[in-house]
Structure 1
Amino acid sequence: MSISDDTWPFSDAPNVACFTVRSIMNEAAPILLVFHDEDDGAWQMLPGGGADASEAMIVGLKQLVQLDETLVELANLPLGWFARREDKNSPWISRPRAEFPAD
């Protein structure tokens, strides 16, 4: 599947800034956890085990969708919700942020 600007499924623009980490961008780790922040609408796309702040990056949403096209399944993820999966071949499971396990 190829995502073009004509078929862009997100309400956010393809160039909206997203928080991620270097290991995802260099394809060393898959995206396993996605947050759609309630306070500012920001997207966070992270590996499963958390991430070190020194690895943080801000990239365009389309860059992340190009790395992992299953993210289009989360285009309608409500503000204040998160989605997670066990591995890159598992289905996304979405829940309200309040249900995210506390550390």
Structure 2
Amino acid sequence: MAINKYINSSNKRNDIYPFSDAPNTAVFICSHILDSGEDILFVSHDTDDGAWQFLCDKEHNESDARIVSLKYVLNLDPTISNLNDLPLGYCAQRKSKSDKWVIAKN
């Protein structure tokens, strides 16, 4: 099954795993990042269920949602390691991959 490729990714680029959530934690990512290589520009850590969402700056609908492991996202973009302690109910945003994250309450 194709989803296992993303959830069980064993890419070794990150030797130290910075998140308290397990590497195989299922997270949401938009298809634009996963399929088209768009940058992660918005990250949300939801209050109600602790879910992580990783999005680009395009418009999204439910059909754009994909589920991958947190470790897979970290391998895609190691700069998200700076958000390892993003509290529940907060989000982080940036204008480009080279910009610093701006953190705000959801």
Q: TM-score, normalised by structure 1?
A: 0.85
Report 1:1-103 matches (<5 A): 2-4=13-15, 7-97=16-106
- Please state how far the C-alpha of 1:22 moved relative to its aligned partner: 1.6
One-letter amino acid matched to 2:60: A
Unaligned runs of 5+ in 1: 98-103
Structure 2: tracts of 5 or more residues without a match: 1-12
TM-score (norm 2): 0.83
Aligned residues: 94
Which aligned runs of 4 or more in structure 1 are off by greater than 6 angstroms? none
In structure 1, what residue type is equivalent to 2:54? M
1 CA distance for matches of 2:90 and 2:39?
20
| Aligned residues with identical type, % of pairs | 43
How far 1:50 sits from its partner (Å)?
Answer: 3.4
Deviation at 1:26, TM superposition (A): 2.6
